[in-house]
Amino acid sequence: MLSQFPATGRLHEAVFEELAQFKSTDVDWRSGRTNFYVQFGGDDVLRVAKEAAALFFSENAHGLAAFPSVQRLQADVLGWLLDLVQAGPLADGCLTASGSESILFSLKAARDWAKARRPDLVTPKIIVPRSAHPAFEKAAGLLGLEVVRTSLRPDYRADVAAMRAQICPRTIAVAGSAPQFGHGVVDPIAEIAALAVENNLWMHVDACIGALFAPFARAAGATIPAFDFSVDGVRSISADIHKYGFGAKGASAALFRHSCWRPSYAFAFDDWPIGSYGSVGLAGTRSAAPIAAAWAVMRYLGHDGYVRIARQILDAFEQLRSGLQSIDGVEIVGEPDTPVLAWRPRDVALGDVVAAMSARGWFVRTMTGPPAIHVGMITLHQAPVVDAYLDSIRESLAELRRR
Ligand SMILES: *Cc1c(COP(=O)(O)O)cnc(C)c1O
């Protein structure tokens, strides 16, 4: 046994001293020197999210009869998200705690839908491009599905011909990402959806990143291809509130074209001594805090506010992209549609660049396909340090070339 349960309590201050001490070894995300894990929409937005979360810290979203306020907040957030993805009047969905959970229930609905028509189906298969999030495998493991990953086109988007070639009698679903996390490109969603319609397959769009970015970025002038329910054949969409929605972590949604699939994510049971039990999504007891934070941030920002932030993010991303392009010996991998990218050095070893950038205080993550430095979701805390980032790249490359 490595650890013993604390035998006695400690004073409030002592507890927080310890917490602060632990935290001091973490990456300082506020400095903008990591572009992973934290999305920031400004100090005002963060304050709104934190205050709303604190206000609903103890309330339980499992007890909506006791907390009609939470029911209202949840219904509003869900309705607003459905509006953003151009859902029709019959659409429905559920708030979940993560993009992974949203993908899980989207695929569960796909499986239930397929099994209802073909009860004898063993190990149903889903086909996704290689760039799809690992949450597809996680969900498939829980649901008894097989995932087949297909090759990408040279521009890193899904190769629909390769997906088509994998369709077999066991295939129940196809999916694409908007955008995918690696290269920031949006898959050819309309083409994949057409393939789904043609073969009577479920089509899921993983818009964990894009659902709360693309609508506002388009209003700010960006061109991002359509990927929502306006595309015929799309049946479900995963949308993370805790990424470009700037909500508290623990907030995502699975959105469905039709409410008839609700039994796949709304659970009901009554054969136990307590009587009727119901839950939506995976958890029973659920924190109302991320729901309240999501509601408050959306209410505070409104469409206008999100567009204003999207414009700032697009500007910072353009500054990063053109800066990278101007550096001799640096190549951007593909042509990102959204503020996510990968870049690689041409004439020095990637590992050396990582070390040189890390030594300059940047939290650097790499990817494998192709080997490159991955710049996750750009948000507002990175905007002020784009030039410093570019300077560090120039310095690092110069240093390595002198060796
Ligand atoms: C983040 C992400 C997910 C998974 O969401 P979690 O909230 O981390 O579980 C799925 N797909 C894409 C494209 C993502 O960026």
Of ligand 1's atoms, which has the minimum distance to the CA of residue 243? 1
Q: How far is the CA of 209 from the centre of ligand 1 (A)?
A: 7
pLDDT band at 251 (very low <50, low <70, confident <90, very high): very high
The residues facing 365 across adjacent strands are: 374
* C-alpha–C-alpha distance, residues 228 and 78, integer Å: 15
How far, in Å, from the CA of 243 to the mean position of ligand 1? 9
Question: Average pLDDT over the chain, rounded to whole?
Answer: 97
For position 349, what pLDDT does the model report? 97
Domain 12-46+302-397: CATH architecture, name and number where available = Alpha-Beta Complex (3.90)
Mean pLDDT of 293-312: 98
Q: What are phi and psi of 352, to 5 degrees?
A: -70, -40
Q: Tell me which of 1.10.10.60, 3.40.50.720, 3.40.640.10, 3.30.420.310 is the CATH number of domain 59-297.
A: 3.40.640.10
Nearest to 129 by CA among 159, 109, 106, 155: 159
Task: Categorize the per-residue pLDDT at 403 as very low, low, confident or very high, splitting at 50, 70 and 90.
Answer: confident
Residue 317 has pLDDT above 80, yes or no: yes
- Stretch 171-175: mean pLDDT, rounded? 98
Cis peptide before 154 (omega within 30 of 0): no
- Per-residue pLDDT tens over the stretch 346-383: 999 999 999 999 999 999 999 999 999 999 899 999 99
The pLDDT tens digits for 95-109 are: 999 999 999 999 999
Q: Are 309 and 293 in contact (CB under 8 A)?
A: no
391 C-alpha to ligand 1 centroid (Å): 30
Would you state the pLDDT for residue 1? 65
Ranges of each domain in the chain? 12-46+302-397, 59-297
| Section 160-170 average pLDDT | 98
Residue 177 CB–ligand 1 contact under 6 Å: yes
Rg (CA), the chain: 22
| pLDDT tens digits, 115-137 | 999 999 999 999 999 999 999 99
Residue 85 has pLDDT above 70, yes or no: yes
Residue 199 has pLDDT above 70, yes or no: yes
Distance CA(185)–CA(187), nearest Å, equals 6
Does residue 240's CB lie within 6 angstroms of at least one atom of ligand 1? yes
Give 189-245 as a DSSP string: HHHHHHHHHHHT-EEEEE-TTTTTTHHHHHHTT------STTSTT--EEEEESSSTT
CB–CB of 317/378 below 8 Å? Answer: yes
Q: Per-residue pLDDT tens for 318-346? A: 999 999 999 999 999 999 999 999 999 99
pLDDT score, position 210 = 98
Query: Ligand 1: which residue has its CA nearest to atom 6?
Result: 99
pLDDT digits (tens, 9 = 90+) for 21-75: 999 999 999 999 988 899 999 999 999 999 999 999 999 999 999 999 999 999 9
Across residues 382-393, what is the average pLDDT? 96
Closest atom of ligand 1 to CA, residue 252: 7
The pLDDT tens digits for 202-213 are 999 999 999 999
